[in-house]
């Protein structure tokens, strides 16, 4: 857990300048989340259907009674996810800045903006896949009892139709 806190703190310090220079077309909260590798609800289908997220599993490690091997495994999943998400977040913001610059210059063509939109969409899909894969991998490290307890602690419940909900 200490390593997790150190990573988050270091990332905050390193990203402060980049956050101040985010593209004006991106909401500051979204720019911050992209720079910090945060989930932003991208893995909601996994989270609400019994596939725990590594960040929350680490936060709930004591309540879930994780073994040291499980904690270490989830930390590896989180670290990989975080590293990939931060890199992709930077790339998304760079392309958003390029798109903004094209329009600011007043000489943008439809082909140019469509090309950048396609690359932004591809990066966003890859970013979402990074988060979803982390949920998938995390579930493999937990017992069914731990997954059920996680859902309970996070407020996820089964409805009468069998679908997960969040309260």
Q: Dig out the tokens for 117 from the structure.
A: 């939109």
Residue 89 has pLDDT above 90, yes or no: yes
Residue 88 has pLDDT above 50, yes or no: yes
Q: Give 21's DSSP letter.
A: T
pLDDT at 60: 98
pLDDT at 4: 58
The CATH architecture that domain 43-166 belongs to is: Up-down Bundle (1.20)
Q: Give 166's DSSP letter.
A: E
Q: Which of 84, 25, 34 is nearest to 54 (CA)?
A: 84
Q: Which of 30, 47, 84, 77 is nearest to 166 (CA)?
A: 47
pLDDT at 123: 98
Q: Which of 71, 68, 47 is nearest to 58 (CA)?
A: 71
Each residue's pLDDT tens digit, 11-38: 555 544 454 556 778 999 999 999 999 9
pLDDT at 69: 98
pLDDT at 107: 83
pLDDT at 160: 42
Instruction: Please report, for the chain, the start and end positions of each structural domain, with discontinuous segments joined by +.
Output: 43-166
For residue 90, the tally of other CB atoms under 10 A from its CB is 16
Each residue's pLDDT tens digit, 99-129: 999 999 998 999 999 999 999 999 999 999 9
Mean pLDDT within 41-55: 97
Residue 77 has pLDDT above 60, yes or no: yes
pLDDT at 162: 47
- CB of 34 closer than 8 Å to CB of 112: no
């Amino acid at each position: 857990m200490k390593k997790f806190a150190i990573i988050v703190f270091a990332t905050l310090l390193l990203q402060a300048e980049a956050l101040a220079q985010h593209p004006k077309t991106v909401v500051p909260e979204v720019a911050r989340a992209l720079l910090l590798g945060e989930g932003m609800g991208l893995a909601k289908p996994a989270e609400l259907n019994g596939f725990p997220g590594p960040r929350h599993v680490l936060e709930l490690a004591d309540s879930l009674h994780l073994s040291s091997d499980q904690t270490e495994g989830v930390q590896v999943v989180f670290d990989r996810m975080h590293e990939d998400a931060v890199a992709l977040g930077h790339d998304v913001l760079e392309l958003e800045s390029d798109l903004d610059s094209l329009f600011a210059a007043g000489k943008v063509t439809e082909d140019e903006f469509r090309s950048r939109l396609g690359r932004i969409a591809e990066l966003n899909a890859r970013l979402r896949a990074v988060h979803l894969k982390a949920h998938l991998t995390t579930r493999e490290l937990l017992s069914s009892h731990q997954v059920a307890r996680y859902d309970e602690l996070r407020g996820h419940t089964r409805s009468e139709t069998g679908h997960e909900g969040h309260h």
